[in-house]
């Protein structure tokens, strides 16, 4: 096993799949010679050639359409959107085209595209680079949305995403790319999409979260345990669509209290969906309202205000305190 | 001029014509090499399509069809272009391009089911190389690059053709698609049917460009500007574009100058609001059916009896297809749920169970 950062694990996943299946193609802006602006495709072009790993002109709608066209013609495109804030330029290809392919063709064609993209706050990018737009994806029927929180998961989930016969949006939190290393197996292993991971067991309150907020939540859990001895369960969703509601409900039935932590703005989105489903399935098990810890409903701020805008450990601790004291 | 091999037009910007409106051959040097039977077949398809279009309009008025975009006036563009392709070539149509789909092998009764919004109307049979009609203007222009890149990567001698109107050429996807096709030298044919209007907007308000064909220059691909009411010019241009594609010479943009006689769609569009009767009559003088009929008659390849026979054949085929469409069981929401993913996630399994319970009542 090797020690890898998340970005290395992601490269490794693409390497495994490029090697295994010659219909896998990797493309996007600057992914070839340059290896991607985050080096996520580093070395892949020299290893697999310009037919398999290639640069595209600077046109996101073009990338999306190319991917959809290739996918109905027997290929498995892994298309990079350089920053997820630019997803709107290719939103049609993802939300209206790839996801409808099975329906429109009565099952004759499908769109096994993986759209990879960096996103996420706390790294002081320019405007429109960091936005957490996964809620928009979540509301798109026919789309799978994956957000890993660590190198091991990132590799296993990306391998599953590429093998999946449905369109997948795979979001890579920029802050996690190089923030720590982890043991990652060489070669091939897959983590199933749609299965959450209970990263920490507890009995008194559940935190449901994903991406970089898994780490914030784990720190908050540690703090509150130290401060008052409450045992916190932390669920890393890994996939926000499809949602592993069974794991969530099982945990809530055990702890009777929950908060949902997300980086994205408050209204609608992942947290709202999870809370609704908890209400539908487990309301009588609740001892307190389920809270959400989120960013406020503003546009993503300039870098100066980013740190206070994003949910942090203190806000999560406050949320936990509130539901524990309810 | 190196990259754009031929914006094949005369100095006064006139589109390429092989048959004059009176049916005489004005460019014998470019006349496609077609047998008598092949020529007659093209005529049969045009007459058939005209009748089918009239029937579809009337079925729509009776409430027996759903969404429908009339095609009369555009038969030469549609049938001439499809006719120059082989069944291996892939068609990415727009909502008006149902005739090309059907002549490429898509069953007519399914086209009617598509019109009614039935899922069966999208179930493309194996071996029929078409995509469903695109609604998002110009989205098929980017998708065609992907299909074509697939052929190129596998070394297959096939092309992808995508159809769109003049309005579509204002969309970013049209430029993005052409640019990609140019950069990767893809076997794609961008086929624009310039019928003068995008719903109500006339061409001169769509773009200040002199024409559509010149837009290929910026993408570094070839282009042709042709008389889209002249089926021989259409056939010639598409065949040439196909050869270019399969020979590794890259993509072609074709601008076919044509006209739609009817409304934009049957959903309430009233063309008298934005165009005149004189204009329509003028275009009707260049009608693709009249022109080709005259050409064939002069060669002794077509007569009134042939025409009558096709009209009858078409009427019967449409009636049979509608009957078949009527017989299709009503579409169910559970079926719709089934085609969202390869395997259903638990949330959709639950929702499907709800609908199955309702549907079994
Ligand atoms: C992205 C998008 N914008 C607007 C529309 C609405 N719309 C449908 S057809 C049409 C006009 C298209 O004109 P043109 O491209 O010339 O094709 P034609 O109908 O003349 O064949 C418009 C505006 C649409 N379907 N998609």
What number is the average pLDDT over the span A280-286?
97
Run of H or E residues at B337: helix B333-338
Q: How confident is the model at residue A107 (pLDDT cuts 50, 70, 90)?
A: confident
pLDDT one-digit tens code per residue, A119-146 = 999 999 999 999 999 999 999 999 999 9
Run of H or E residues at B153: helix B139-154
pLDDT one-digit tens code per residue, B170-229 = 999 999 999 999 999 999 999 999 999 999 999 999 999 999 999 999 999 999 999 999
Give nearest CA residue, ligand 1 atom 21. Answer: B165
Could you tell me which residues of chain A have a Cβ less than 8 Å from any Cβ in chain B? 51, 56-57, 59, 61-62, 64-75, 77, 92-93, 96-97, 102-110, 141-142, 144, 164-166, 194, 242-243, 245-246
Q: Does B143 touch chain A (CB under 8 A)?
A: yes
pLDDT one-digit tens code per residue, B35-55 = 999 999 999 999 999 999 999
pLDDT over threshold 70, residue A277: yes
Q: How confident is the model at residue B121 (pLDDT cuts 50, 70, 90)?
A: very high
What number is the average pLDDT over the span A304-308?
92
Query: Whole-number mean pLDDT of chain B?
Result: 95
pLDDT over threshold 90, residue A189: yes
What pLDDT does residue B12 have? Answer: 53
pTM assigned to the model: 0.94
Regarding the beta carbon of B135 and ligand 1, being less than 6 Å apart is answered: yes
What pLDDT does residue B5 have? Answer: 42
Question: CA Rg, chain A, in Å?
Answer: 19
What number is the average pLDDT over the span B329-340?
93
Give nearest CA residue, ligand 1 atom 3. Answer: B137
Q: How confident is the model at residue B10 (pLDDT cuts 50, 70, 90)?
A: very low
Q: Between chains, do B340 and A103 touch, taking CB under 8 Å as contact?
A: yes
**Nearest C-alpha neighbor of A116 from the set A184, A70, A174, A44:** A174
What gap in Å lies between CA B159 and CA B163, rounded to an integer?
Answer: 13
**Which atom of ligand 1 lies nearest, measured to the CA of B96?**
21
pLDDT one-digit tens code per residue, B78-102 = 999 999 999 999 999 999 999 999 9
Q: Is the peptide bond before B107 cis (omega within 30 degrees of 0)?
A: no
Per CB-CB distance under 8 Å, the chain A contacts of B90 are: 73
What gap in Å lies between CA B135 and CA B94, rounded to an integer?
Answer: 6
- Provide the percentage of residues in chain A whose pLDDT is more than 70: 100
Which residue from A minimizes the CA distance to B337? Answer: A103
Of B97, B162, B165, the one to substitute when testing ligand 1's pocket (max ligand atoms within 8 A of C-beta) is: B165
**∠ CA B78-B80-B86 to the nearest 5 degrees?**
100
Q: Does B357 touch chain A (CB under 8 A)?
A: no
């Amino acid at each position: 096993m090797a020690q890898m950062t998340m970005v290395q694990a992601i490269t490794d996943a693409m390497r495994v799949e490029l090697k295994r299946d010659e219909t896998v193609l990797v493309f996007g802006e600057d992914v070839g010679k340059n290896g991607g602006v985050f080096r996520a495709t580093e070395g892949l072009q020299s290893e697999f050639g310009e037919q398999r790993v290639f640069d595209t002109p600077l046109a996101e709608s073009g990338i999306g359409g190319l991917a959809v066209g290739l996918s109905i013609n027997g290929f498995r495109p892994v298309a990079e959107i350089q920053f997820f804030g630019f997803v709107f330029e290719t939103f049609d290809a993802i939300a209206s085209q790839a996801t409808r392919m099975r329906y429109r063709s009565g099952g004759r064609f499908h769109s096994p595209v993986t759209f990879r993209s960096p996103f996420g706050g706390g790294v002081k990018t320019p405007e429109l680079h960091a936005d957490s737009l996964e809620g928009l994806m979540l509301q798109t029927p026919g789309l799978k949305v994956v957000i890993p929180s660590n190198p091991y998961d990132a590799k296993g989930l990306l391998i599953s995403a590429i093998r999946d016969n449905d369109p997948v949006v795979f979001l890579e939190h920029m802050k996690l790319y190089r923030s720590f290393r982890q043991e990652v197996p060489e070669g091939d292993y897959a983590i199933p999409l749609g299965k959450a991971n209970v990263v920490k067991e507890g009995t008194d309150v559940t935190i449901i979260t994903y991406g970089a907020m898994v780490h914030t939540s784990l720190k908050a859990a540690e703090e509150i345990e130290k401060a008052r001895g409450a045992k916190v369960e932390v669920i890393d969703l890994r996939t926000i669509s499809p949602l592993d509601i069974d794991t969530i409900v099982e945990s809530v039935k055990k702890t009777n209290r929950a908060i949902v932590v997300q980086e994205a703005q408050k209204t609608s989105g992942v947290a709202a969906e999870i809370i609704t489903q908890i209400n539908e399935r487990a309301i009588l098990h609740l001892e307190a309202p389920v809270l959400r810890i989120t960013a406020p409903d503003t546009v993503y701020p300039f870098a100066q205000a980013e740190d206070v805008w994003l949910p942090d450990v203190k806000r999560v601790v406050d949320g936990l305190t509130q539901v524990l004291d309810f | 001029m190196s990259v754009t091999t031929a914006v094949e037009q005369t100095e006064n910007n006139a589109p390429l014509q092989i048959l004059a409106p009176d049916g005489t051959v004005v460019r014998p040097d470019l006349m496609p090499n077609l047998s008598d039977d092949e020529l007659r077949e093209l005529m049969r398809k045009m007459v058939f399509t005209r009748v089918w279009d009239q029937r579809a309009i009337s079925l729509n008025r009776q409430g027996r069809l759903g969404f429908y975009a009339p095609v009369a006036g555009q038969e030469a563009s549609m049938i001439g272009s499809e006719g120059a392709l082989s069944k291996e070539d892939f068609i990415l149509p727009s909502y008006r391009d149902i005739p090309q789909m059907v002549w490429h092998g898509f069953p007519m009764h399914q086209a009617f089911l598509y019109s009614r919004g039935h899922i069966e109307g999208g179930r493309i049979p194996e071996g029929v190389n078409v995509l469903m009609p695109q609604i998002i203007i110009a989205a098929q222009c980017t998708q065609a690059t992907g299909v074509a890149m697939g052929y190129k990567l596998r070394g297959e001698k096939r092309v992808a053709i995508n159809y769109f109107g003049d309005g579509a050429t204002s969309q970013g996807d049209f430029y993005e698609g052409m640019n990609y096709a140019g950069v990767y030298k893809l076997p794609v044919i961008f086929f624009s049917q310039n019928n003068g209007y995008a719903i109500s907007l006339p061409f001169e308000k769509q773009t200040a460009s002199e024409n559509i064909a010149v837009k290929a220059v910026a993408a570094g691909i070839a282009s042709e500007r042709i008389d889209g009411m002249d089926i021989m010019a259409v056939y010639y241009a598409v065949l040439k574009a196909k050869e270019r594609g399969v020979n590794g010479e890259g993509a072609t943009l074709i601008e076919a100058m044509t006209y739609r006689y009817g409304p934009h769609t049957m959903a309430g569009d009233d063309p008298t609001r934005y165009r005149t009767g004189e204009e329509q009559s003028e275009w009707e003088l260049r009608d693709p059916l009249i022109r080709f009929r005259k050409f064939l008659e002069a060669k002794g390849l077509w007569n009134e009896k042939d025409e009558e026979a096709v009209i009858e054949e078409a009427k019967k085929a449409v009636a049979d297809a509608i009957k078949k469409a009527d017989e299709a069981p009503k579409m169910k929401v559970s079926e719709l749920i089934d085609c969202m993913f390869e395997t259903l996630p638990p949330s959709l399994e639950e929702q499907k169970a709800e609908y199955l319970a309702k549907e079994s009542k």
